[in-house]
Amino acid sequence: MSWTLTADAVRDLARGAAVLGTGGGGDPHVGALLAEQAIVAHGPVEVVPLNELPDDAMVVMVAMMGAPTVMVEKLPSLEEVRAAVQAAESALPEGTITHIVCAEIGGVNSTLPVAAAATLGLPLVDADGMGRAFPELQMVLPTLSGIAASPVSFADEKGNVGVVHTADNTWAERIVRVACVEMGCTIMITTFPQRGAQARTSLVKDSVTRAVQVGRAITDSRASNQDPVASVVEVLGGRELFAGKVVDVQRATTAGFARGRARIDGEHDVLELSFQNEHLVAQAGDTVLATTPDLIMVLEHDSGEPITTEGLRYGQRVRVIAAPSDPRWHSAEALQMVGPAYFGYAVEGHRFDGSPDHPEQEDVA
């Protein structure tokens, strides 16, 4: 059943999305401020369950592309959202957009679509393209379903607007990314326009609800003097990997991405986190504890406040948790797109819950 997302719930959504953003995706509070502003101006947003989408709905992802390190300094505006959606509509032979959906349920791209939906007076689908955050445009489950990212529309704060139809989804990432970098490292985009019938099978369901639950678990645990980190682990069906102090952070913003490493000293051991916008590998000595596509999250030790990769600082006391990704991310094809090797990490593909990494190969055996 549809439910109504109010300005109050946006705070929980933002906190939950910061957790599910696995360190990346940009600060969701930036999008939350915009969402609250849009809801005050235009009213609350209707959130539609994925299985209630009409077959002929026209769903598009609305997202911000860019380096999270830049996003926190250069705030998006609703003007750019409108410009990008308008450009998408003019490029869609299928006509009017009926629903907005999140590309990722992590980071700013979980809350910005709320702002877009409120501003445009459109419902938001309770779903997203990945069940987490990933750094590149093509890295959504619809790519694996053969759905085109094109037309991709984009807009910046200077009034530049564009639409591309690309040979494949990786070309969409390549062309729009260089345009994004040239336009100042953040732009608003719309992508993966699809019919309701396609969306129902290509997307991850209940993502918005899940993010609100995660955020609320943190808020409620704090209010009742319980351990927020433990409550997040429970909601996500995850596990705590490590606790310690941040002792070193190296980061660089290159080619539109925030890349780097963090070292966390524990009681007996040292954890090394590698990130490219998101945390992608957690390793203690030679032991790989978790890797992309599973979710690796860094939370402040006591408050459970999620810490983004650009928020990591020397001296922070943190706990690192992991949770299983949508199982579709563990197919061989998916791992080629988002596995550790794609990002240049020489670690074995590793499935957090202990089951083998290529389940569909087992089906064949």
Each residue 180-199 as x (binds a copy of itself by CB under 8 A) or -, in order, gives -xxx----------------
Say whether 82 sits in a helix, a strand or coil: helix
8-state DSSP, 143: H
Q: Taking a C-beta distance cutoff of 8 angstroms, is the pair 295, 316 a contact? A: no
**From the list 33, 42, 145, 160, which residue makes contact with a copy of itself (rule: CB under 8 A)?**
160
Q: Taking a C-beta distance cutoff of 8 angstroms, is the pair 318, 298 a contact? A: yes
**CB burial of residue 227 (10 Å; 0-12, 13-18, 19+):** middle
148 lies in the binding site for a copy of itself (CB under 8 A): no
Q: Which residues pair with 243 in a beta bridge?
A: 319
Min dist CB 172 to a copy of itself, Å, is 9
Say whether 225 sits in a helix, a strand or coil: coil
| Closest to a copy of itself by CB, 178 or 332 | 178
| Listed residue (94, 144, 132, 109) closest to 26, CA to CA | 109
By CB under 8 A, the residues from 205 to 224 that bind a copy of itself are none
Each residue 275-314 as x (binds a copy of itself by CB under 8 A) or -, in order, gives ----------------------------------------
Alpha-carbon distance 154 to 141, whole Å?
21
Q: Which residues pair with 260 in a beta bridge?
A: 251, 275
Min dist CB 167 to a copy of itself, Å, is 4
| Closest to a copy of itself by CB, 137 or 229 | 137
38 lies in the binding site for a copy of itself (CB under 8 A): no
By CB under 8 A, the residues from 45 to 84 that bind a copy of itself are none
**From the list 95, 159, 285, 354, which residue makes contact with a copy of itself (rule: CB under 8 A)?**
159
165 lies in the binding site for a copy of itself (CB under 8 A): yes
**# of chain residues touching a copy of itself (CB under 8 A):** 21
Q: Six-digit token pair at 260?
A: 């780097």
Q: Choose the binding region for a copy of itself from 32-40, 114-122, 166-174, 307-315 (rule: CB under 8 A).
A: 166-174
| Closest to a copy of itself by CB, 177 or 205 | 177
Task: Compute φ and ψ for 293, nearest 5 degrees.
Answer: -90, -5
| Closest to a copy of itself by CB, 30 or 183 | 183
Q: Six-digit token pair at 308?
A: 């983004």
- Collect all residues with Cβ–Cβ distance below 8 Å to 60 and sequence separation of at least 6: 85, 88, 97, 99, 100, 101, 190, 191, 192, 193, 194
Q: Which residues lie near a copy of itself (CB under 8 A)? A: 87, 90-91, 158-167, 171, 174-175, 178-179, 181-183
